[in-house]
Amino acid sequence: MLINIAASLVVAGLLLLVVGIMIARQYTLRAKLLTAFLFIVLLSLGLLAALDSYLMSENLRQSTNRILDAAARQYADRIDQFNEFNLESIQSEARLPAFVNYIKLRGAEPYHSQTIREILIALQSRQGKEIVSYAVLNKDGINMVDTVNEYIGSDESQEIYFKEALLRKSPYMSPVIFSKTEEPSIYFSSPIEDITGRFLGVLRVKYNARALSNLLSDSRGRIGRGAFAILIDDNNLRLMHGRRSDLQYTLASNISAADLQALVDKGRVPHDSKRLFVEHSEFIEKLEKTRFTNSNLQISLFGMGEDEYSLSIARLNTAPWKVVFAQPKAVLIEPVEEQTRATLLFASGIALLVVLIVSGTTRILLDPIRRLTEVVKQIGEGNLETKANVYTKDEIGGLANAFNDMTNNVRSLVNDLEKEIDDHKLTADSLRKLSQAIEQSPVSVMITDLDGNIEYVNPEFSRVTGYTADEVMGENPRILKSGHTPPSQFTNLWNSITTGQSWSGELYNKKKNGDLFWENVTISPIKSNEGKNTHYLAIKEDISIRKEYEERLMYQASYDKLTDLPNRSLAFDRLKQALANAIRDKERLAIMYIDFDHFKNINDTLGHNAGDNFLISMAERLKGIVRDVDTVARLGGDEFMLILTSTHHKSGELPLSDYREQIQQKAAEVLHKVAQPCVIEDMEFSVTASIGIAIFPEDGDDPHILLKNADTAMYRGKRKGRNTFEEFTPEMSDKIVKRVEIESKLRRAVEDERFYLKYQSLVNTRNMRLEGAEALIRWEDEELGYIAPEIFIPFAEESGVIVDIGRWVIDRVCNDVKALRADQDSKDFYIAVNLSGRQFRGKGIANQISDTLSKYKLPGNCLELEITERLLMKDVPEVLTTLSQFKEMGIQLSIDDFGTGYSSLSYLKRFPFDVLKIDKAFVHDIGVDPDDAALCEAIISMAHSLGLSVIGEGVENEEQFEFLRSRGAEIVQGYYVSKPMRYDEFKQFVTVSDWIASTAG
């Protein structure tokens, strides 16, 4: 409606402008009277049309506002009814005795109750199809029973609906909650209490957030064409948009990145932040005015497509949300526009008639002026011989005579100027070219007077600095001064140019917006014909990008990209400098070589991103331990170094023992800080470190030697059990040499198949029958001699060579067991093989063993795979999958060294094992240690209760054998039965054992 009124006023204004121009050009009184009459008529018509349009549109606006208010309130009430119904329902349901009694009986851990679940399913089906889940949570927030099985056992104690129900002691409705994996949801919750009011748990119902959309689904077209509703929460997030579905779950206002991240972390906005922002600034500005008021607001705005809308806003009573109901203004004011168009059409007809009458009258009066104007035009085109042929006796005739006199004078002046112009053309052309070159120059150009006041800058100067030419005229170039350029450089600059010399150098200046930038500047004096300085010319090139690139290259060459710590190169330079200072001041210096224990497990289990986050966290912890004068550096991988400079004690003043004690205390502090729990990707775990220490001057005076000795000491710490620090001693050098030699020979031993197997019998305790054997790997090097497994196996694990060794063992065992089965005509004989953790987690271990069995045409029961207990505690789903694949092949599974790890019965029940193997450490002291005897007896009893057979290993005497046999252990292994034997010897032993067993039978 306002557009039509404005149009009427614009027409009147244009007519007024035309009339004003005509009045200004008229000279006679008659012409002024005619034009004044025309002005009054046209202005009156325009104002009448505008007033008619305004009155009609105002009546329609008031009527529309009432309708919009009612519609917005109706939808707000509908959502309030939905919320109130659910709050009342869940409060009454939470008082059901079935829920109270269930939590009292089973409040400690999830327990399947079909009765409770059927009640929840009934409640869910009765309430509505948009309910995703009904659940009972105990007082600790653990999901006890849920209509969705996947949610059972989950910890919901940190969810807002659990906390609010606990805090309020009353029913609670959550805001819309977003997650990465599920659709947006709304939660209703109510505390479950006994008759005394004691808090037992929470009854929780989870709605799909599209329930809100269903409540507003019929908003489009509710009042008229183009009407729709929007539901907005307290964070200006559109929960529903009746017209544009692409705007659902987007923010209607701009917020800072930090506030946005906070909302994402709380689950208050979608995790896909790229689609959150849709700017309708005027809409939000008007909407914000209603944030702290209960009244509705009528606003009109642009921003919703190409249309203008009228809005009504109604607040909810049950939630901090708003219902915005919108109606296109174009639809509302169509009747007004039709009436206005008719009025304007009539007014235009009247105006046209008046214009025709006035135009005919003025044509006669203006004809002499038009002729005079034509003459002026010809003279303007260069025809100075033209004269004004107007001979009237009025004012216009007098003007024509005066004009002719002026033309004669101008003709004389032009002739004089033409000669002068020709003289200056050559000079002007040269100046034009010079000016264009400076104006279009890709470098900044500035000219100042002798006092440094700016007289000229080119466009490139304005583009670089942000200052326009008008802003800097008369200013001093010090407006660009940043304060970072040394004053001596400006002194040299002025000394040079004031003495007539040019100056070149780099300046670190500041732009108008405060940004700093580098310039390569050349300043030269401009001299007069007499050789005196008259001005100064500055040619300046922005080299900020080049400087940033140079700084970035220098930084990247010296600092670790991940942790922002000094890298190996910079750390070595600092170590050399610290050593030089220590030598000069006769002070001590210590370095610590730090390596995190089992860091590879983090990468293998959680991924490299988690490993990177862990290293960043550890870097921050290490920086918090040392002083500013010390250095924390990352040498690569998970290896870090601390350089601890002097504690202001000269090497001769503080005894070495006291200095070592200081360093040991610092190392203990590092171990303590590192071992603190660390949360990465919502998982909390602890990691330990091994530290090697080397001290100057006792352990070396060269940075290479100190670093090598600290590394040697660190590896010594790892060999001693990790999570410790070790100081370098000269004896370590010999051991590290041997370690390196073993590691190098280990790889060649794999390539040359220098390993061999021994087999130790597994004997049935009831009939002494040989059931199978365990394969034991051995290595004898030509130069180093026999190398025990406990020495080379850890090296193989760390280097990954164990995977190749394990593949060779499986192949060799399959070859031998096939021959043994054929010789003894036995289908039950099997060989047990120990799988290392690295081999077990390797890709395709199940397929590899399956392929080997197929290669030798063997069934799965010819193998028994021994899995260490510690392996079960990591990556449980993957472990279960691999073990299930083994069982499908018919392979027996055994828990090796039971009792030395976690010994968790709840974990043991989850895995498909056949055999439990008691570690020899418990068997060894059965006869002398009552605790070991009781422990073995308990393990056997537990294993049998789970349907597992028991193997006792390390049996060396009859007393141990009889103890295990009498307690029900089915199989024993150890020197009491037989020693480990090579294949040929073991093959003969098997033949003899079968003969003895058959004879005894």
- Residue in the block written with tokens 């775990």: 685
CA dist list (Å): 768 to 466, 746, 833, 995, 997: 96, 38, 22, 12, 7
Sorted by sequence, the CB contacts under 8 Å of residue 985 that are 6+ apart come out as none
Query: Which residues does 45 contact at the CB level (< 8 Å), separation at least 6?
Result: 12, 347, 350, 351
Judged against a pLDDT cut of 70, whether residue 409 lies above it is answered with: yes
Given the structure tokens 């390390």, which residue do they identify? 954
State the pLDDT at residue 293.
44
Strand-pairing partners, residue 302, are 308
In this predicted structure, what is the pLDDT of residue 914? Answer: 94
Q: How confident is the model at residue 326 (pLDDT cuts 50, 70, 90)?
A: confident
The rounded distance, in Å, linking the Cα atoms of 803 and 807 is 6
> For residues 181 and 867, what is the distance between their CA atoms, to the nearest angstrom?
34
Distance (Å, rounded) from C-alpha 896 to C-alpha 879? 15
Sign of CA dihedral 548, 550, 552, 558: negative
Report helix, strand or coil for 946.
coil
Alpha-carbon distances of 953 from 208, 699, 920, 921, 975, rounded to whole Å: 57, 46, 5, 9, 9
Residues 844, 840: Cα–Cα separation, whole Å: 9
Closest CA to 587 of 634, 631, 643, 628: 643
Q: What is the pLDDT of residue 610?
A: 87
pLDDT at 307 exceeding the cut of 70: no
- pLDDT tens readout for residues 820-832: 998 877 788 999 9
What pLDDT band is residue 295 in, cutting at 50, 70 and 90?
Answer: very low
Mean pLDDT of 352-379: 69
Query: Is 216-332 in CATH node 3.40.190.10?
Result: no
Sign, Cα dihedral of 146, 148, 153, 154: negative
DSSP strands (E only) in 123-184: 131-138, 143-146, 172-173
Instruction: Please determine, for residue 667, whether its predicted confidence score (pLDDT) is greater than 70.
Output: yes
Burial class (CB in 10 A: 0-12, 13-18, 19+), 886: buried
Q: Helix axis angle, 703-719 relative to 568-585, nearest 10°?
A: 110
pLDDT category at 599 given cuts 50, 70, 90 is confident
Given a cut of 50, whether residue 251 has pLDDT beyond it is yes
What pLDDT is recorded for position 1001? 46
> What is the structure's pLDDT at 303?
46
pLDDT at position 370 over 80: no
Q: Which two tokens stand for residue 1?
A: 């409606």
Render pLDDT for 670-697 as a digit per residue (tens, 0 to 9). Answer: 999 999 998 887 888 789 999 999 999 8
Q: What average pLDDT does range 101-111 have in this prediction?
A: 75
Which tokens hold the place of 799? 């280097």
pLDDT at 908: 72
* pLDDT winner (highest mean) among 69-78, 107-116, 559-568: 559-568
Per-residue pLDDT, averaged over 288-315, amounts to: 59
Least Cα distance to 365 among 402, 389, 395 occurs for 395
Average pLDDT estimate for 123-146 = 89
Domain 744-1000 has CATH 3.40.50.10440: no
443-543: which CATH number, 3.30.450.20, 3.40.50.300, 1.10.730.10, 3.30.360.10? 3.30.450.20
SS3 assignment, position 99: helix
pLDDT band at 905 (very low <50, low <70, confident <90, very high): low
Q: 833: closest CA among 711, 917, 908?
A: 917
CA distance 191 to 169: 6
Distances (CA, A) of 450 to 493, 496, 523: 14, 13, 12
Task: Quote the CA–CA distance of 153 and 116 in Å, as a whole number.
Answer: 15
Long-range contacts of 877-882 (CB under 8 A, 24+ apart): 878/841, 879/840, 879/911, 880/910, 880/911, 882/840, 882/845, 882/846
> Which range is least confidently modeled, 42-56, 283-297, 695-709?
283-297
E-strand ranges in 112-167 read 131-138, 143-146
Task: State pLDDT tens for residues 830-851.
Answer: 999 999 888 888 778 999 999 9
Contacts 24+ apart (CB under 8 A), 712-720: 712/736, 713/593, 714/593, 714/594, 714/595, 714/690, 715/690, 715/739, 716/692, 717/690, 717/691, 717/692, 718/595, 718/597, 718/690
Which pLDDT tens digit goes with each residue over 620-629? 999 999 998 9
* Better-predicted residue by pLDDT, 27 or 484: 484
Provide the 3-class DSSP secondary structure of residue 245: helix
Higher model confidence: residue 696 or residue 46? 696
Asked whether 77 and 85 are in contact (CB, 8 A), the reply is no
Residue 719, both tokens: 């060999």
Instruction: Provide the sign of the torsion angle of the four alpha carbons 496, 497, 499, 500, taken in this order.
Output: positive
Give the CA diameter of the chain.
160
Average pLDDT over the chain, rounded to an integer = 82
Q: Which CATH number fits domain 559-729: 2.40.30.10, 3.30.70.270, 3.40.50.150, 3.30.1330.10?
A: 3.30.70.270
Judged by phi (left if over 0) then psi (alpha if -120 to 50, else beta), residue 947 lies in: left
Chain segment 180-196, per-residue pLDDT in tens: 888 899 999 999 999 88
Q: What is the pLDDT of residue 830?
A: 96
Q: Are strands 892-898 and 915-918 parallel, antiparallel or unpaired?
A: parallel
**What integer is the mean pLDDT of 641-663?**
77
pLDDT tens, residue by residue, 197-249? 899 999 999 999 888 877 776 655 455 677 778 888 888 788 877 777 777 77
Q: What percent of the chain has pLDDT over 70?
A: 79
Is pLDDT above 70 for 291? no
Determine the pLDDT at residue 966: 95
Q: How far apart are CA 661 and CA 838, in angstroms?
A: 38
User: Torsions phi, psi of 449, nearest 5?
Assistant: -80, -175
Q: What is the pLDDT of residues 492-539, one digit of tens each?
A: 999 999 998 999 989 999 999 999 999 999 999 998 888 899 999 999
Per CATH, domain 96-208 is 3.40.50.300: no
My answer on whether omega of the bond before 697 falls inside 30° of 0, hence cis, is yes
On the question of pLDDT at 582 being above 80, the answer is yes
Supply the pLDDT for residue 902: 47
Amino acid at 257: A
The answer to pTM > 0.75 is no
Residue found under tokens 């670190």:
508
pLDDT at residue 727 greater than cutoff 70:
yes
Q: Which two tokens stand for residue 636?
A: 């690569």
Contacts of 949 (CB under 8 A, 6+ apart): 914, 915, 916, 943, 970, 971
The strand pair at 678-680 and 683-685 is best described as: antiparallel
What is residue 294's predicted lDDT score, i.e. its pLDDT? 43
DSSP code for 580: H
Q: Distance (Å, rounded) from C-alpha 606 to C-alpha 592?
A: 28
Residue 302 has pLDDT above 50, yes or no: no
